Copies of this chain bind each other. A is one copy, B any other.
């Protein structure tokens, strides 16, 4: 390059129409046609066609351009011009190879098996489809934070190392902690209850862990969860918050990530449907729906993925199912004062069979009832003394929920399996790269 030109990102080319620019990126694809080479150049912000015309460059440059292999890192200098279909293209005047691949790029346009792609996740991320998913994921995370920050919530990071299990010990990862042992968090909720008593409206947002031995399309061992908790909020307020929250996320993705949804061939009409109010049904009404759908479940049993799918098919938007049997819900859920068989909880099931995306509810704020529940669930009382303190000193009604990011990404992107919803998925048999 003889004249150093300012680097411009591909997503900003529209601001430089008619100007000479420098692109720095990688060769995504190459087509040639007589006196023309069409280089698809990507730089992480987009892909643009760079046209090398034999009459406009030196013969050596034209010859070299025709031999570039996939994923060669290149700097391209040229003039931005409107393209009849694709927005903008660049008419190349200079081109420099930064580094040629040392071997043929392993991910060719041909079909590859899932195991192969997962083993090459560090390279697979460069494909159009993975790029689109990651941008949508980042947008969802941004929307989550904007929603809560915009409503006066304070972010309070929950600890990852915990001394005890929140909901039983079966799916916990254990860590040697110096002379002691610790467990990786499954939920920040108990800590958020303490924080809500200090700051009113709080949320945590971080990785959580479940050592589930099952290989399903909906499970990761490491996944991200956002958990708001609000003092002086009841179940009705909790459901309202969850509904507002989901609407906000869906709207944001529709506003800002249409091109990425198009890459994924997502049916956006399904997402445009997602408007308040969402249906609210009780657990017992859900049992009726299941019965009518030929999937009878006796009172007192929880729903699995199949049941969630049957229920979700009855609605064109997320459905809030509230007041499950007290006995199958966590010890901290508040017992329904009008029916002690039930808990004041709510689960939200995504439409189109994408499963449960939210679980939450009102928390037990009565010290004696909570102590009894700890006993019933056979939990180690001493580990929860600090949690009981929240009922000893200024107990108030409060509620919250947790939303799983990967399931939300899978729903909004229309992905059958959660493995593509996170940059580096961790599963039962997958710890690399």
Interface residues of A (CB under 8 A from B): 7, 9, 11, 24-27, 43-45, 71-73, 98-99, 101-103, 105-106, 120, 122-123, 125-126, 130-131, 134-135, 137-138, 141-142, 145, 149, 152, 154-163, 173-178, 180, 182, 184, 191, 194-202, 206-207, 209, 211, 213, 221-222, 224, 231-232, 365, 367, 386-387, 389-397, 422-424, 426, 428, 431-433
Q: Which of B7, B138, B152 contacts A232 (CB 8 A)?
A: B7
* A134 and B156 within 8 A (CB): yes
Q: List 15 A-B contacts (CB under 8 A).
A: A71-B394, A73-B396, A98-B397, A101-B393, A134-B154, A134-B198, A141-B155, A142-B155, A161-B426, A163-B431, A177-B431, A178-B428, A206-B206, A206-B207, A207-B207
**A424-B222 Cα distance, complex, nearest whole Å:** 21
* A198 and B73 within 8 A (CB): no
* B175 and A184 within 8 A (CB): yes
* B24 and A198 within 8 A (CB): no
* A389 and B123 within 8 A (CB): yes
List, in ascending order, chain B residues with CB within 8 A of A394's CB. 26-27, 71-73, 98-99, 101
* A152 and B194 within 8 A (CB): no
Of all chain B residues, the one with the shortest Cβ separation from A27 is B394
CB distance from A107 to the nearest CB of B (A): 9
* A432 and B163 within 8 A (CB): yes
List, in ascending order, chain B residues with CB within 8 A of A162's CB. 431
Count this chain's copies in the assembly.
2
* A199 and B44 within 8 A (CB): yes
A102-B392, A175-B175 given; A126·B198 CB < 8 A: yes
* B222 and A43 within 8 A (CB): no
Of all chain B residues, the one with the shortest Cβ separation from A181 is B431
* A392 and B101 within 8 A (CB): yes
* B198 and A125 within 8 A (CB): yes
A44-B201, A178-B211 given; A390·B122 CB < 8 A: yes
**A163-B430 Cα distance, complex, nearest whole Å:** 10
**A173-B161 Cα distance, complex, nearest whole Å:** 11
* B431 and A367 within 8 A (CB): no
* B43 and A200 within 8 A (CB): yes
CB distance from A283 to the nearest CB of B (A): 29
**A196-B122 Cα distance, complex, nearest whole Å:** 10
What 15 additional pairs, Cβ within 8 angstroms, besides A102-B392, A123-B389, A125-B194? A9-B200, A11-B152, A26-B394, A43-B200, A44-B198, A44-B231, A98-B395, A102-B367, A106-B393, A122-B387, A131-B198, A131-B199, A134-B154, A134-B156, A159-B222
List, in ascending order, chain B residues with CB within 8 A of A174's CB. 175-176
List, in ascending order, chain B residues with CB within 8 A of A44's CB. 154, 196-202, 231
Of all chain B residues, the one with the shortest Cβ separation from A104 is B393
CB distance from A425 to the nearest CB of B (A): 8
* B231 and A156 within 8 A (CB): no
**A180-B426 Cα distance, complex, nearest whole Å:** 13
* B431 and A158 within 8 A (CB): no
List, in ascending order, chain B residues with CB within 8 A of A142's CB. 145, 149, 155
List, in ascending order, chain B residues with CB within 8 A of A106's CB. 393
CB distance from A428 to the nearest CB of B (A): 6
**A157-B174 Cα distance, complex, nearest whole Å:** 22
10 closest Cβ pairs, A-B complex: A44-B200, A386-B433, A125-B198, A122-B194, A73-B394, A159-B424, A99-B395, A71-B394, A44-B199, A138-B155
Of all chain B residues, the one with the shortest Cβ separation from A397 is B98
* A432 and B386 within 8 A (CB): yes
List, in ascending order, chain B residues with CB within 8 A of A211's CB. 178
